[in-house]
A = this chain, B = another copy of it.
Amino acid sequence: TDPQRIAVIPGDGIGVEVTAAARQVLDAVAQRHRIPLSYQEFDWSCQRYLAEGAMMPADGLERLRPADAILLGAVGWPGVPDHVSLWGLLIPIRRTFRQYVNLRPIRVFEGVVSPVRGARPGEVDLVVVRENVEGEYSEIGGRLGRGTPEELAVQEAVFTRAGVSRIVDYAFALARTRRSYVTSATKSNGIVHTMPFWDEVVAERAAGYADVRWDSEHIDALAAKLVLQPERFDVIVGSNLFGDILSDLGAAVAGSIGIAPSANLDPTRAFPSMFEPVHGSAPDIAGQGVANPLGAVWSAAMMLDHLGHPDAATDVVAAIEACLLDPATRTRDLGGTADTRAVTDALLRHLV
């Protein structure tokens, strides 16, 4: 059979380092499971922007289109405004390829010390299902009276029935494969047009999953509960903004944002899905070879799963678990001293 085509965008800073690690791990596990993969690398990044004035070429999205999946490192660099780097690359990929699900698993692994006292290894295991293409991250808005004392800026949040329904359906279907419990993040007491609509659609869709328990929490209280009782949650479904906040907070609760993976999925499979660690390009440690590659590696495991190789994915996650159990193969963000190389080698040893 033809190999599955992976488009690789290492991006900026530690994105380059962790993507290299993830590729090595992919090679090892692909060999073990006889999965034919082919790669095409794209140097789209802030470096490219600074040199050529665009994060990616004009036909960039066209070139990604035939890929079976996209593996991304991290995007962003000092001197390039975030809205340039992200809206010139990451966000267009998410939107053009209708990657309407952003999936962000959060686990406290054995060997990792959570900053939260009650978050014991093995007990915290949740997934944030984040709506990824509409909501608060809208291009609709602008300014009035620029530069005047009366200046104002407006921004429209847009929620569609179709958009909310499909993300809620995804969350409930996912919950069925887990502990059958969904929590919806809302703020209908303060954001009185879009959030009551979100609540209504959630309630309607939930009615189709009588076997799944569910509740709804305001984002302020939910953020607090994620710290107070993280073990309580199974699947949390939230809007673009709320999912973003909860998944970063959750990654902190899990012990390090360096471990946290994410999948930007088009569940219809009409377009390639994209897999990226939650962490950014980390200019402060870039180029030193000390970045934690586990977020990128776990993201690669999610990619394998999406591409139809659940056993290979399971092997990679098992290698991550083994690696975290050994103090000698934990990176600095986890209180260890291992560098990216040492962690990658350990993963490869577990995968032979």
Contacts and interface: CB of A to CB of B under 8 A. Distances in A.
Contacts of A257: 224
Contact of A196 (B83, B116, B161): B83
A2 B219 CA distance: 43
Interface stretch (A63-71, A139-147, A168-176, A307-315): A139-147
A241 interface: yes
A229 to B, nearest CB: 9
Contact of A193 (B118, B143, B187, B253): B143
Copies per complex? 2
Given A187-B241, A220-B248, A194 B117 contact: no
Interface stretch (A25-33, A44-52, A152-160, A322-330): A152-160
A328 to B, nearest CB: 23
B197 A223 contact: no
A152 to B, nearest CB: 4
Given A116-B115, A117-B115, A191-B137, A156 B158 contact: no
Nearest to A90: B189
A210 interface: no
A150 interface: yes
Contact of A249 (B154, B157, B161, B223): B223
A124 interface: no
A86 B189 contact: yes
B227 A245 contact: no
Interface string A299-310: 000000000000
Interface residues of A, number: 63
A248 B227 contact: no
A196 to B, nearest CB: 6
A58 interface: no
Interface string A229-248: 00000000000110011011
A188 interface: yes
A351 B350 CA distance: 65
Contact of A161 (B152, B158, B160, B194): B152
Contacts of A158: 152-154
A227 B156 CA distance: 30
Contact of A154 (B137, B150, B156): B156
A161 B137 contact: no
Given A189-B82, A227-B116, A154 B152 contact: no
Contact of A194 (B155, B162, B194, B224): B155
A230 to B, nearest CB: 10
A228 B255 CA distance: 9
6 contacts: A113-B117, A143-B193, A153-B158, A154-B157, A220-B247, A224-B251
